[in-house]
Amino acid sequence: MEKLNKYIDHTLLKPDATEEAIRKLCLEAKENNFATVCLNPTHIKLAKSLIGSSKVGICTVIGFPLGAGLSSVKAFETRLCIDLGANEIDMVINIGAVKDGRFEDVTDDISEVVEAASGRTVKVILETCLLTNDEIIEACKAALKAKAHFVKTSTGFSTGGATVEAVKLMKETVGDKLLVKASGGVRSYEDAMAMIEAGASRLGTSSSLAIVGKEGPASKGY
């Protein structure tokens, strides 16, 4: 179970998240030795003060949840977030550019964030529920070309979350060159193990405690 804990980005990305809720998130992450807390940029400074010297990382989201912002703005936000204490960046790609087949633009968008992250882990959110299999494959190739570290299924805020099929396809495409993060709808131990068996190396979930057997089913927020 300890190994399973390190797969988990303990996540709270709801727009109405309070300081009290963020404090609870960070305490739970430290107590359970999760890989990271994943939260919106406005909460990084607080999380940094709470995480302290713990081995739990601080993950934040860029261009979230639509991915439709300017690449330069995504890069600028990435630098600000790192200065505040984030050490992992989950960015949303330009989904419209994927749908248009403008994969050079997609690659450039990712590359700007990777460069701004200065070696920190960058996870590229594809929003697989909006893409065809061919588009998922090409988006993964763009992430590879841009030298990201992970491809990630979902924001958890669109029409669907992670599926075993999408995780398998992503892992088949990137092989050992990138890791895969499954997020959105991972709410139980069974869900978690299915995603890991499909190829996921990280799980984004707000149901972390339920997954590791610490409490009943959590909220349906992510």
90 is catalytic: yes
CA separation (Å) from 217 to 9, 75, 159, 206? Answer: 17, 36, 21, 10
Side chain identity at residue 167, one-letter code = V
H/E run at residue 59: strand 57-62
Residue with the two structure tokens 């089913």: 217
181 is catalytic: yes
Which residue among the candidates 74, 123, 171, 181 is catalytic per the annotation?
181
Alpha helices per DSSP H over 93-163: 95-100, 103-117, 133-145
For 206, the token pair is 């707000």
83 is catalytic: no
Exposed e or buried b per residue across 56-66, where buried means at least 16 C-beta atoms within 10 angstroms of its C-beta: bbbbbbbbbbe
Which residue among the candidates 9, 90, 109, 191 is catalytic per the annotation?
90
Please give the Cα distance from 99 to 87 (Å, whole number). Answer: 30
Provide the annotated active-site residues: 90, 152, 181
